[in-house]
Amino acid sequence: MSAHAKEKKKTNRGVFVLYIGFFAGLIWGAVKIFENYFKFTSIGIGFMAEPFFKHDFFNTWLGLFIGWFMFTLFSIFAASIYMMTLWRLRSAIWGLCYGAVWWALLYFVIGPITGMFYWVHELELTTVISDFCLFLVWGMFIGYSIAIEYTDVPRRQAIPKS
């Protein structure tokens, strides 16, 4: 296989990051909805849009989907940042750390300042633990998906045609 043919098989980074961010928001947003429905957390999926809408709006179907959409946009944004900065790191631990950093930023700084939710010391322990765990696996999904795609490419073998 020529060098030119190998170049054509590279994944488009922009499309790939949209794909990973979209599915991170879709999958882990659904988990967030179930987490809230089963009372593991008091913070619903609409927390990203909380400063722009009344809280009761997120108890409607439209509010739920707008919240899910905002979480998906946030996931695309977060995946883009990971792609620009940490894409070469191969271990799943980096994705876990990335999720923990986002959780800390949201729950200690951005959330309370913007009115998304109360300060972390005012939240129930189940909310803090559930959301922390959710952000860990969300970050690992983003980080590990990107890392595997861009650090495992040289070891892939072309599949011979039959």
Task: Evaluate whether residue 116 is within a structural domain.
Answer: yes
Alpha-carbon gap, residue 53 to 55, rounded angstroms = 6
* Count of structural domains within the chain: 1
Task: Evaluate whether residue 160 is within a structural domain.
Answer: no
Task: Evaluate whether residue 45 is within a structural domain.
Answer: yes
Residues 6+ apart with CB under 8 A from 111: 47, 117
For the chain, what's the residue count?
162
- Taking only the tens place, the pLDDT of each residue in 60-93 is 999 999 999 999 999 999 999 999 998 888 888 9
Domain of 51 in residue numbering reads as 11-150
Average of pLDDT values for 108-125?
Answer: 92
- Looking at every residue in the chain, the average pLDDT score rounds to 88
- Percentage with pLDDT > 90 across the chain: 65
Half-sphere exposure of 98 (CA within 13 A, CB side): 28
Task: Evaluate whether residue 135 is within a structural domain.
Answer: yes
Task: Evaluate whether residue 115 is within a structural domain.
Answer: yes
Per-residue model confidence (pLDDT) at position 143: 94
Task: Evaluate whether residue 3 is within a structural domain.
Answer: no
Q: With a cut of 70, say whether residue 119 has pLDDT above it.
A: yes
Task: Evaluate whether residue 146 is within a structural domain.
Answer: yes
pTM for the model stands at 0.85
Alpha-carbon gap, residue 131 to 69, rounded angstroms = 18
Q: How far is CA 136 from the centre of its chain?
A: 9
Task: Evaluate whether residue 2 is within a structural domain.
Answer: no
